Chain A
Amino acid sequence: MKILIQLGLLFGVCILGDLISAVLPFAFPGSVISMLLMLFLLLSRWMKESTIEESANFLLTNMTFFFIPFGVGILRYAALIKSVWWQLLVVNLVSLLACFAASSWTVVLITRLQELWRRRRNA
C-alpha cells in the first residue's frame, strides 16, 4: 500500500508538471517541471523525503533500465547512424573537452575571486 501511494503521488506530480507545461507560453519539458515542483515541495517541507523514499530509491537505483527501450529504437535508425557515426564521435569529443574546460575553470576562477574578495574585506 505504501509503495502504491508513493507511485500514485509521483505520477500525480508528473501529470501536474505536464499540465503546467501545456499552459506555459513557451516550450519547457513537463518532466523537468515535475522535478522542479518536487524540489520545491521538499525544500518547503510540504513533502518529507520519507513520503516518497522507497519508490524514489527504486527509480534512482534502476534508472538505466528505463532507457533501454529508447536505445533499442536505434534499430530503426541504423542507416542514419551508419552514415554519421564518425561525426557523432567528433562532436562528442569536442563538446566533452569544451564542457569540462569551461565548467572546471569557472569553478577555479570564482573560488579565487571569492578568496580575493574575502581577503580584501579582512584587510
Chain B
Amino acid sequence: MLEALNTPMFGIVLSVLAFRIGMWVNKKIKHPLANPLLIAMTLIVLLLVLFDIPLDMYEKGSAIITLFLAPVTAVLALTIYRQRALLMSSLLPVLLGTLAGSVASLFSIKWTSGLLGLDRVVLASLMSKSVTTPIAIAITEQFGGIPALTVASTVISGTLGNLLAPLLAKMFFISDPIAHGVGIGSCSHALGTSKALEIGEVEGAMSSIAISLSGIFTVLLAPLFFL
C-alpha cells in the first residue's frame, strides 16, 4: 500500500492539507503561537512518525515545493517597489536603522553562540535567523548550515517579536512609530510585521520595508561575521 504513496504528489498533497489545517486553526485561535507553519510542520512530522513513512518519500514531493523558494525571494522585490514612496520619505533613518539592526543581530548571534559553545554548523544555521525565511535559508545554504534549524529559528524569533513588540517599545523608550516599525521588521520579519500592522499604519509599513532591506544587509554582512 505504501508503494502508492511513493510519488511526488504525496508530499505536495500532504503539505497543502497540513497548511490548510494550519491556516484554519490560526484563524480560529488568532494567537501568534498558533503559527500556521508550525502547525503544518508538526502535523506532517506526526503523521510520518506515526505511520512509519520514510522522510524520503515525503521529500520527493517537497523537492518540487522548495523549487519555488527562488521565485518567492525574487518577488520580494515587489514589496520594496510598492513601498518606494514611503521609503524615500525617510530614506536615511530607515536604511541606517536596518543596517544597524543587521549588524547587531549578526554580532549578538555570533557572540552568544560562542559563549554557549554552539558548534560552527549550528552557528551557520542561526546567523540569518532575524531575516525573512527565504533569504535566511539562502544564507544558511551558503555557509553549509542546516536549513531545517534556520526555519525553526526564524519562526521562533518571528513569534517572539510578534508577542513582545509592544513591550519592546516600552523597554527601550521608543515612541516614534517609524523607529518602532523598523525595529520590529528588522528583528522579526513578516511574523512581527503582522503585529506592527495591528499597532498602526506607519509601524506596519515601516516594518514591511525593513524585512527586505535587513535581508539584503544581512546577506552582504554575514560573510564578515562567519569567516
Verify A49–B78 contact, CB threshold 8 A: yes
Find the B residue at minimum CB distance from A34.
B74
- Mark B residues whose CB is within 8 Å of A: 11, 15-16, 18-19, 36-38, 40-41, 44-45, 48-49, 55, 58-59, 62-63, 65-66, 68-82, 84, 90, 92-94, 96-105, 107-109, 112-113, 116-118, 122, 126, 129-130, 133-135, 137-139, 141-142, 146-153, 155-157, 160-161, 164, 168-169, 172, 174, 176, 178-180, 182-184, 186-188, 190, 210, 212, 214-216, 219, 223
Q: Taking the nearest CB of chain B, how far is it from the CB of A51, in angstroms?
A: 11
Verify B37–A71 contact, CB threshold 8 A: yes
User: Interface SS of chain B: helix, strand, loop or mixed?
Assistant: helix
Contact of B147 among A64, A73, A90 (CB under 8 A): A73
Q: Which of A63, A66, A103, A114 has the most CB of B within 10 A?
A: A103
Verify A14–B70 contact, CB threshold 8 A: yes
Contact of A59 with B75 at beta-carbon distance under 8 Å, contacts A29-B141, A32-B219, A106-B96 already known: yes
Q: Which of A13, A29, A32, A110 has the most CB of B within 10 A?
A: A32
Q: By the criterion of a CB under 8 Å from any partner CB, how many residues of chain A are at the interface?
A: 71
Contacts of B82 in A (CB 8 A): 49
Contact of B70 among A34, A71, A90 (CB under 8 A): A34
List residues 102-123 of chain A with CB under 8 A from any CB of chain B. Answer: 102-108, 110-111, 114
Q: Taking the nearest CB of chain A, how far is it from the CB of B204, in angstroms?
A: 15
A74 to B146, CA, bound (A): 9
Contacts of B49 in A (CB 8 A): 75
Verify A88–B104 contact, CB threshold 8 A: no
Contacts of A80 in B (CB 8 A): 122, 146, 149
Please list 17 pairs of residues, one from A and one from B, whose beta carbons are closer than 8 Å in the complex, sorted by A's number. A14-B70, A29-B219, A49-B82, A56-B78, A60-B76, A66-B69, A68-B15, A68-B37, A68-B41, A69-B11, A69-B62, A70-B66, A99-B101, A99-B183, A103-B97, A103-B179, A110-B97
Contact of B74 among A27, A35, A98 (CB under 8 A): A35
Verify B122–A95 contact, CB threshold 8 A: no
Q: Taking the nearest CB of chain A, how far is it from the CB of B111, in angstroms?
A: 8
A14 to B82, CA, bound (A): 20
